[in-house]
């Protein structure tokens, strides 16, 4: 029996110079004053200067907020929410990577609900309608402009909280590949590997379906072909277009099929050590793939094919293993080390106890194709040290 599936994505505006549509999009969602969440790097790169005239031209007022860090914290959400309410805004626009978009979503939650952001950790805790949200991603990888996830660091517990709700899917996503030309190679590599983790975890998820499968495989093919080229050159527009598309496709897949152990573990490492999320995913991905192989050899063989590996005259197991090695090779190719020790992580026994416990309780673990408890997660962390 085929289960009923839902597939939800925002309205998508895609193309070079698409950022110039922010004013029109804000007007279409009924905005009168937008709360623009961004970060200092985006301001420095000049993209806010591109967006603001379009907002003004549409006759819409705005307030800019940018006091956030790369792994956004609960207290930053609290500060941003106060600014949102004080500014009397009625809608939210994020221009940035995963951090500004996650903060924007969290502000939307707190604008419509009592308590603190901690009260909405987990699945389907959001009950009230949220303000309209428009997202302009500035990296090719986080996928927050498409997904039903918001990830916020709990500064007391030193973990990342996963907020999961269809309500967190933005109203409009605006993707402009030209923005990617201002990103440095390291960020391009980290976010590209994040997109690959989204696609692979979505494809092997126990909640995958024919729609998410098609999006995930298409993303894997694009990333395999174009990530290294995008990392190597800021001006390769064909590669930037391809990676922008891959990010969209992977995000659509993982938002609807959900993710798994890679992200459940990465959230904890990121919360404790404040490391780039995509880089942590890149380290963990091959180890988790190896762990999951016995549960879905066929799926990993298809991933190998999407990664450009020959599967003829190979056993299913050989093909599946080649997917793991190809991902390892790609990560090295774009300059990402394979061990946490290379990233300055000192995973002591006390650290591991916390990391394993919290990863086992992370809501995204539920759709991993092979069951994993604290002991199995500990073994995966130890392999990656």
Q: Looking at the structure, do residues 122 and 194 belong to the same domain, yes or no? A: no
For residue 315, tell me if it sits in a domain: yes
For residue 4, tell me if it sits in a domain: no
For residue 3, tell me if it sits in a domain: no
Pick the last residue of a domain from 179, 196, 231.
179
- Confirm whether pTM is higher than 0.95: yes
Q: Looking at the structure, do residues 221 and 244 belong to the same domain, yes or no? A: yes
For residue 137, tell me if it sits in a domain: yes
Q: Looking at the structure, do residues 282 and 189 belong to the same domain, yes or no? A: yes
| pLDDT given at position 257 | 97
Q: Looking at the structure, do residues 231 and 152 belong to the same domain, yes or no? A: no
Q: Looking at the structure, do residues 288 and 245 belong to the same domain, yes or no? A: yes
Grade residue 2 by pLDDT with cuts at 50, 70 and 90: low
For residue 6, tell me if it sits in a domain: no
Mean of per-residue pLDDT scores for the chain? 96
Q: Looking at the structure, do residues 34 and 76 belong to the same domain, yes or no? A: yes
Q: Looking at the structure, do residues 130 and 271 belong to the same domain, yes or no? A: no
**Total number of domains in the chain:** 2
CATH code (residue 76):
3.40.50.1970
Query: What is the extent of the structural domain holding 148?
Result: 11-179
| pLDDT given at position 3 | 63
Between 313 and 36, whose confidence is greater? 36
Q: Looking at the structure, do residues 214 and 347 belong to the same domain, yes or no? A: yes
Q: Looking at the structure, do residues 187 and 311 belong to the same domain, yes or no? A: yes
For residue 225, tell me if it sits in a domain: yes
Grade residue 383 by pLDDT with cuts at 50, 70 and 90: very high
Grade residue 178 by pLDDT with cuts at 50, 70 and 90: very high
Percent of the chain past pLDDT 90, that is, above it, reads 93
Pick the last residue of a domain from 179, 198, 222.
179
Q: Looking at the structure, do residues 169 and 199 belong to the same domain, yes or no? A: no
Residue 341 has pLDDT above 90, yes or no: no
305-318 pLDDT, tens digit per residue, is: 999 999 888 999 99
For residue 231, tell me if it sits in a domain: yes
Pick the last residue of a domain from 147, 179, 211.
179
76-85 pLDDT, tens digit per residue, is: 999 999 999 9
For residue 347, tell me if it sits in a domain: yes
117-160 pLDDT, tens digit per residue, is: 999 999 999 999 999 999 999 999 999 999 999 999 999 999 99
| pLDDT given at position 40 | 95
CATH code (residue 358):
1.20.1090.10
Q: Looking at the structure, do residues 290 and 353 belong to the same domain, yes or no? A: yes
Strand order in the sheet with 172-175: 11-14, 172-175, 133-137, 91-96, 33-37, 61-65
Mean per-residue pLDDT, 373-380: 97
Q: Looking at the structure, do residues 328 and 227 belong to the same domain, yes or no? A: yes
């Amino acid at each position: 029996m085929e289960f009923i599936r839902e597939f939800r994505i925002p309205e998508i505006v895609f193309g070079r110079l698409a950022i110039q549509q922010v004013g029109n999009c804000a007007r279409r969602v009924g905005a009168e004053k937008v709360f623009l969440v961004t970060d200092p790097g985006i301001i420095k790169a000049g993209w806010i200067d591109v967006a603001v005239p379009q907002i003004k031209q549409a006759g819409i007022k705005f307030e800019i907020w940018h006091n956030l860090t790369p792994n956004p914290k609960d207290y930053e959400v609290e500060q941003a929410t106060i600014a949102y309410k004080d500014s009397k805004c009625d809608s939210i626009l994020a221009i940035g990577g995963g951090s500004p978009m996650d903060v924007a979503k969290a502000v939307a939650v707190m604008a419509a609900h009592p308590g603190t952001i901690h009260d909405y950790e987990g699945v389907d805790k959001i009950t009230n309608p949220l303000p309209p949200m428009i997202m302009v991603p500035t990296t090719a990888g986080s996928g927050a402009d498409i997904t039903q996830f918001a990830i916020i660091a709990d500064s007391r517990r030193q973990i990342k909280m996963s907020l999961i709700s269809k309500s967190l899917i933005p109203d409009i996503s605006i993707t402009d590949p030209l923005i990617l030309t201002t990103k440095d190679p390291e960020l391009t590599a980290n976010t590209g590997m994040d997109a690959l983790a989204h696609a692979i975890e979505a494809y092997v998820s126990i909640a995958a379906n024919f729609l998410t499968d098609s999006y995930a495989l298409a993303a894997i093919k694009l990333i395999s072909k174009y990530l290294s080229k995008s990392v190597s050159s800021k001006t390769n527009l064909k590669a930037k277009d391809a990676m922008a598309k891959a990010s969209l496709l992977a995000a659509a897949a993982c938002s609807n099929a959900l993710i798994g152990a890679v992200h459940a573990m990465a959230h904890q490492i990121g919360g404790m050590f404040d490391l780039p999320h995509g880089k942590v995913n890149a380290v963990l991905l091959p180890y988790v793939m190896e762990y999951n192989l016995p549960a879905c050899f066929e799926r990993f063989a298809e991933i190998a094919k999407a990664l450009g590996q020959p599967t003829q005259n190979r056993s299913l197991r050989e093909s599946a293993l080649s997917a793991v090695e190809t991902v390892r090779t790609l990560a090295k190719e774009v300059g990402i080390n394979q061990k946490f020790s290379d990233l300055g992580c000192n995973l002591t026994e006390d650290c591991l106890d916390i990391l394993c416990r919290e990863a086992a309780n992370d809501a995204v673990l539920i759709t991993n194709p092979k069951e994993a408890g604290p002991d199995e997660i500990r073994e995966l962390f130890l392999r990656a040290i």
